Homo-oligomer: A and B are copies of this chain.
Amino acid sequence: MQPEQIKKERAEDSAKLENRATLLVKCPDQPGIVSVLSTFLFRHQANIIESSRYSSNPENGTFFIRLEFTCEKLSSKAAEMEREFKLIADDYKMDYDFHYLSKRQRSAIYVSKELHCLLELLWEWQNGDLETDIAVVISNHEDAREIVESFGIPFYYLPANKDIRKEVERQQIALMKEYEVDVLILARYMQILTPDFVNHFESRIINIHHSFLPAFIGANPYDRAYKRGVKLIGATSHYVTNDLDEGPIIEQDVERVDHRDDVATLKKIGRQIERRVLTKAVKWHLEKRIIVEGNKTIVFH
């Protein structure tokens, strides 16, 4: 497919969702919250089509809910709804987030020399299964340029190493701003980010780590898995925080291996796990299915 064709199809996908929205709410638990929320939506002629909730503790805990609803002429009513909702939110001490599905989130993919995760994301996006606009791809190598540009997506080569990190991150932040990026996807980017950078995009940087965390934090997890003789290897997608590989876990998966599998084979098997784990995590983020709470995630899938 030509780049223009893909973009046209993705835009049509968005248009179909023009009356659809999600509402994420977090507040102190108390009786009556669901009643208030559902009555509010009902009054605005919104029809709930999906609803998931979680209480951290039956008594005295925190309440979380994700509502997905449709509403005729949503774009013209949204401002009024949000204004009115603010009053309820104040009453109940709610953190909340309205998201309109026709307004696709914009993503940046960061990649290094290993391209399998990038390719999986591009493929899912081209296929219409990833509801995002891939705004830009950033890499510290040139390997991905050709494939990325063939999709009509801007590609930036920015070298990365300890000495120039601050300067490179300044450029990256400028690019994120220029391209109005909502979410950063580290698709095997393999670079340490500074606290400044991480704080700038809190709970908006998704990483894939090539181990079953918290096992094998840090470098060379497949080599260490091989050396330890584990019988399953895994991958973990998580939000990036300033503790290396310690951020809130979004998704994990594993595959069986055995004594015959050398490090190269572990990497090959691992690539399959990484591809699907990162893609799932990104989809859930884009669909506003994830709430970060402390160092954990609530995932309403």
Contacts and interface: CB of A to CB of B under 8 A. Distances in A.
A250 B296 CA distance: 31
Contacts of A295: 228-229
A41 B31 CA distance: 9
Contacts of A1: 146
Contact of A47 (B31, B214, B230): B31
A112 interface: no
A55 B68 CA distance: 12
Interface string A42-72: 1001111111111100100000000000100
Q: How many of chain A's residues touch chain B, expressed as a range?
A: 35 or more
A243 B130 CA distance: 38
A248 B229 contact: yes
Q: Is the interface of A mostly helix, strand, loop or mixed?
A: mixed
Interface in A9-62: 31-32, 34-35, 38-39, 41-42, 45-55, 58
Contact of A249 (B53, B230, B234): B230
A64 to B, nearest CB: 9
Contacts of A234: 232
Nearest to A31: B47
A39 B146 CA distance: 52
Interface string A66-89: 000010000000000000000000
B51 A258 contact: no
A141 to B, nearest CB: 14
Contacts of A253: 232
Nearest to A248: B229
A205 B157 CA distance: 44
A219 interface: no
Given A38-B38, A49-B58, 19 more contacts: A1-B146, A31-B46, A31-B47, A34-B38, A34-B42, A47-B58, A49-B55, A50-B53, A213-B230, A214-B215, A214-B228, A229-B248, A229-B296, A230-B252, A231-B251, A232-B253, A259-B296, A259-B297, A259-B299
15 contacts: A31-B47, A38-B38, A39-B39, A47-B58, A49-B58, A52-B52, A54-B260, A119-B123, A129-B268, A213-B228, A214-B216, A228-B295, A229-B297, A232-B252, A259-B296
